[in-house]
């Protein structure tokens, strides 16, 4: 188990397409960290190095998927995974409106249109491992760039999240790092107030480039908005210091609205 700071914020708001909203509890997002860690520990028992097999980009997507599955388990029926792989959002809220719409769409579960977006609302999940300096910087400073399995927190220079469209909101953004060689959730943030201005212009894939789909990168203002909506953070001085410095804030210096828990 690992020690985290938990914000004393019992509910978050999920905005819907019709401008209404529903409130959901935040506790499952912490319990999901515990489930995530348990599942990662089991995967680490395999002789195959799954992290190296996937590579960093695919591994980050895998971390987001695994955390999302853990939220579904922790919330006890409140969420369903979006049945379409390109649907939006990732987790569909099964309150009264959500269940009614799910039942209405029972014969269309393979169609994208009714699930992108799912009008009763839900939560999108994105994961980031942050960015470190270039290989040239490490070489110039006589240092070794962190490899897959190595902690990156000491060298982090920034972080953001990416989305396929600028209308992404109700975002559960997670940060992760390697701890003792395996992926570990280091922070969980949430905002239901993201606007198009919080996302950069759409970047189209280049022929022969690494990206296969268009993406929008969250702006610094959007990252700051997410930072202000933090829910859980690893009780690590370096992690808290980095997040405060990068966002020019003091959320983790002396936040009296938080308590420490083991997850």
Interaxial angle between packed helices 50-75 and 27-44, expressed in degrees from 0 to 180 and rounded to the nearest 10: 150
Q: What is the pTM of this model?
A: 0.95
Q: What are the domain boundaries of the chain?
A: 3-252
Q: Are 157 and 168 in contact (CB under 8 A)?
A: no
Contact present, 130 and 154 (Cβ < 8 Å): no
3-class secondary structure, 125: strand
Task: Tell which residue, 199, 182, 218, has the closest CA to residue 49.
Answer: 182
How confident is the model over 33-86, as pLDDT tens digits? Answer: 999 999 999 999 988 898 999 999 899 999 999 999 999 999 999 999 999 999
d(CA 188, CA 156): 17
Contacts of 111 (CB under 8 A, 6+ apart): 84
Strand ranges (E), the chain: 3-7, 11-15, 21-25, 79-81, 91-93, 122-128, 162-163, 171-179, 182-191, 216-217, 230-234, 258-262
Beta bridge partners of 177: 184
- What is the average pLDDT score of the chain? 94
Task: Report the distance separating Cα 10 and Cα 25, nearest Å.
Answer: 6
DSSP labels, 75-89: HTTSEEE-SSTT-SS
pLDDT in tens, 240-258: 999 999 999 999 876 555 7
> Helix, strand or coil for residue 170?
coil
């Amino acid at each position: 188990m690992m020690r985290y700071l938990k914000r004393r914020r019992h509910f978050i708001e999920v905005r819907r397409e019709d401008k209404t909203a529903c409130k959901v509890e935040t506790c499952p997002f912490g319990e999901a960290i515990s489930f995530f860690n348990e599942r990662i520990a089991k995967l680490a028992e395999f002789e195959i190095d799954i992290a190296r097999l996937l590579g960093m980009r695919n591994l980050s997507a895998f971390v987001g998927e695994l955390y999302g599955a853990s939220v579904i388990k922790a919330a006890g029926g409140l969420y369903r995974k979006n049945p379409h792989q390109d649907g939006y959002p990732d987790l569909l809220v099964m309150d009264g409106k959500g269940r009614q719409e799910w039942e209405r769409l029972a014969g269309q579960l393979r169609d994208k249109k009714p699930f992108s977006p799912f009008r009763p609302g839900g939560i999108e999940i994105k994961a980031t491992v942050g960015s470190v300096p270039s290989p040239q910087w490490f070489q110039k400073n006589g240092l070794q760039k962190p490899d897959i399995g190595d902690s990156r927190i000491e060298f982090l220079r920034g972080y953001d999240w990416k989305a396929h469209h600028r209308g992404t909101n109700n975002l559960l953004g997670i940060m992760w790092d390697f701890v003792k060689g395996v992926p570990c959730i280091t922070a969980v943030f949430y905002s239901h107030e993201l606007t198009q201005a919080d996302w950069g212009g759409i970047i189209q894939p280049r022929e022969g480039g690494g990206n296969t789909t268009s993406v929008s990168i969250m702006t610094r203002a959007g990252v700051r908005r997410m930072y202000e909506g933090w829910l859980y953070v690893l009780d690590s001085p370096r992690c808290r210091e980095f997040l405060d410095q990068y966002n020019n804030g003091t959320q983790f210096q002396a936040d009296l609205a938080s308590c420490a828990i083991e997850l």
